[in-house]
Amino acid sequence: MYSEKVMDHFSNPRNVGEIPGANGVGTVGNAKCGDIMRMFLKVENGIIVDVKFKTFGCGAAIATSSMATEMVKGKSLKEALQLTNKAVAEALDGLPPVKMHCSLLAEEAIHAAVEDYLKNHPEEAIDL
Amino acid sequence: MDRIYMDNAATTAIAPEALAAMLPCFGQVYGNASSIHSTGRDARKLVEEARRKIADALGAKPGEIYFTSGGSESDNWAIKGAAFANRRKGNHIITSSIEHHAVLHTCQWLEKQGFEVTYLPVDEYGMVRTEDVEKAITDQTILISIMAANNEIGTIQPVAEIGKIAKAHKIIFHCDAVQAVGAVPVNVDSWNVDMLSLSGHKFHGPKGVGALYIRSGVKVEPFLHGGAQERGKRASTENVPGIVGMAAALEKAVNNLEENGIRLTYLRDKLIKGILENIPYTRLNGHPLQRLPGNVNVSILYVEGEALLLRLDLAGIAASSGSACTSGSLDPSHVLLAIGLPHEVAHGSLRLSLSDVNTEEEVDEVLKVLPRIVSTLRSMSPMYDDFLQGKNLTAK
């Protein structure tokens, strides 16, 4: 049911863990629904220089978290805010329909972490 | 090590004896069991021999066994058939909230047809309280349907006592015994059941075949209309290879019932003890003693069931879970919710179901692999971090 890419990112997740001293942290999801994602960002000069995640959830939740971190690493905050769940799903060669909400969570987790950073750096939000 | 299969509650490998019994039915004995010529009569002979074996295994008469396409059909037929045949007497049905979907969805459909259904709650172990059955009975009650043993958590219900209550009130009692037949002793008379469902592939028989026991004199509408097969109650040319294979498998299972029960109970308890002692924050789901010999169901907190299954699969172990992600809906298993588990605990459930093909070495291997996988997944889980820091289980 899962593509090879999903299985690859599930079994060898990239950027798993946390960043000590992260300056943007976002948590989305709900244990009741079975998925929680937490993204940690290290932002320098408007660029995401490091990103890590921790996820409680199914195979798709872990794979989309992993892929989303790969897609925003080294990117600007503006680019990270443009990340869509569709792009994450496509990068994984697709997801089963019932699992599309996992890619949405990944998008929301990245956005939440960026917004957390911007909350403490409101001057940078003006440029976006 | 070869792959370890611990999903025997989903389906089992076919027994060599069952396969051997089936093979001639694809070759020389190819007749239609309803034909009058000797080619047909050879097939009929095998079907009737199988019927007798199934009847013997249940303490029933051969004329009370009807072959079906499996457990779901048997459940559908029993419940719809009895409901419609007895609707002039009343329109009330009693069942439990932890039945298989073949029973629950059938009852929900009957509600749309004007029947009323009571779904009894269960206790924390998944046990139906007999006094609840008694209390739910009204002068409109025509059918009680309670499973013998639960497919997810393995809890064995007080079927004989419920049967006694049903009999005293002259209410038809159907028992979904799909998980129990071939695993624990079953007797339609001591259980006081009027109808009983079973499925071949749950006890090392072939898939696509099952049976419904209907006590003589119990009124049930036919399910499939057409030819006069199964005494006019269930049309369709008999699935001779399936029927023969199922009977051979059940005969073997019943002959080895006690020995297998003791061995599987030992393996089951070793697994349960090993998991609960070696993995922190785990709990057993289902009754500790009144449970199927081969059923292990635990909740492993702070991990999600599907991720656990995929990791186990990568390690060569086949298991099952009641998490939402494996059910294809947003809700976890209705059984785990019915025994009172919060959603997040139900999501982390793991079912390991054993059969006579499993070995102690396999149990030891699972006990070696599982803690490592749980520890990896927990190290990735923000819920576990929050828990260790004393925060609530649930994020925003």
Give strand ranges (E) for chain A.
24-30, 35-44, 47-56
Mutation pick from B306, B333, B379, B388 vs chain A, by most beta carbons of A within 10 Å, is B306
Calculated CA dihedral for residues B204, B206, B208, B209, nearest 10 degrees:
-80
Residues in chain A: 128
Collapsed DSSP state (helix, strand, coil) of residue B120:
strand
**B325 belongs to the catalytic site:** yes
Mark yes or no for CB contact A33/B396 under 8 Å: no
**How many angstroms separate the most distant Cα atoms in chain B?**
78
SS3 (DSSP) at A71: helix
Neighbours of B240 (CB within 10 A): 25
The token pair that represents B112 in the structure block: 């749309």
Q: Is B10 exposed, middle or buried (0-12, 13-18, 19+ CB in 10 A)?
A: middle
CB atoms within 10 A of CB B62: 14
Considering just the CA atoms, what is the radius of gyration of chain A in Å? 14
CA atoms within 13 A on the CB side of B53: 22
Banded model confidence at residue B323, pLDDT cuts 50, 70, 90: confident
What was the ipTM of the complex prediction? 0.93
3-state secondary structure of B291: strand
Question: Would you state the pLDDT for residue B331?
Answer: 77
Residue B335 DSSP SS3: helix
Here the tokens at position B132 are 């609840």
Name the percent of chain B in helix, strand, coil, to the closest 5: 45, 15, 40
In this complex, which of A31, A37, A98 lies closest to B394 when CB atoms are compared? Answer: A31
User: Could you read off the pLDDT of B126-176 as tens digits, one per residue?
Assistant: 999 999 999 999 999 999 999 999 999 999 999 999 999 999 999 999 999
Q: Which 8-state DSSP code applies to residue B375?
A: H
Q: Whole-angstrom Cα distance, residue B396 to residue B390?
A: 16
pLDDT of residue A125 exceeding 90, the answer is: no
- State yes or no: is A33 an active-site residue: yes
d(CA B295, CA B303): 21
Q: What is the pLDDT of residue B326?
A: 61
Q: Min CA distance, A124 vs chain B (Å)?
A: 26
Q: What's the pLDDT band for B330 if we cut at 50, 70, 90?
A: low
At B252, which helix (H) or strand (E)?
helix B240-255
Written as one letter, the residue type at B370 is: L
- The mean of the pLDDT values for chain B is 95
CA pair distance B201, B114, nearest whole angstrom: 34
Among B306, B330, B395, the residue with its CB nearest the CB of A36 is: B395
Q: Which of A22, A37, A92, A102 is catalytic?
A: A102
Is residue B188 predicted with pLDDT exceeding 60?
Answer: yes
Name the nearest CA neighbour of A86 among A100, A96, A76.
A100
Whether the model clears a pTM of 0.90, i.e. scores above it, the answer is yes
Which of A16, A32, A35 would best serve as a mutation to test chain B binding (most B beta carbons within 10 A)?
Answer: A32
Q: Is B189 within 8 Å of B58 (Cβ atoms)?
A: no
pLDDT tens per residue, range B225-267: 999 999 999 999 999 999 999 999 999 999 999 999 999 999 9
Residues of B in contact with A7 (CB under 8 A): 310
B336 lies within 8 A of chain A by CB: no
Contact check, Cβ <8 Å, A32/B381: no
Structure tokens at A109: 């987790």
* Cα–Cα distance, A66 to A11 (Å, whole number): 10
pLDDT digit string, tens, across residues B48-100: 999 999 999 999 999 999 999 999 999 999 999 999 999 999 999 999 999 99
From A60, A17, A8, select the one nearest A38 (Cα to Cα).
A17
Using a CB-CB distance cutoff of 8 angstroms, which residues of chain B are in contact with residue A56? 302-304, 380-384
How far apart, in Å, are the Cα atoms of B126 and each of B158, B271, B339?
Answer: 11, 20, 6
Cα B379 off chain centre by = 35
Distance set, CA B132 to CA B118, B177, B245, B264 (Å): 10, 21, 39, 32
Instruction: Dig out the tokens for B210 from the structure.
Output: 């099952």
Beta bridge partners of A42: A50
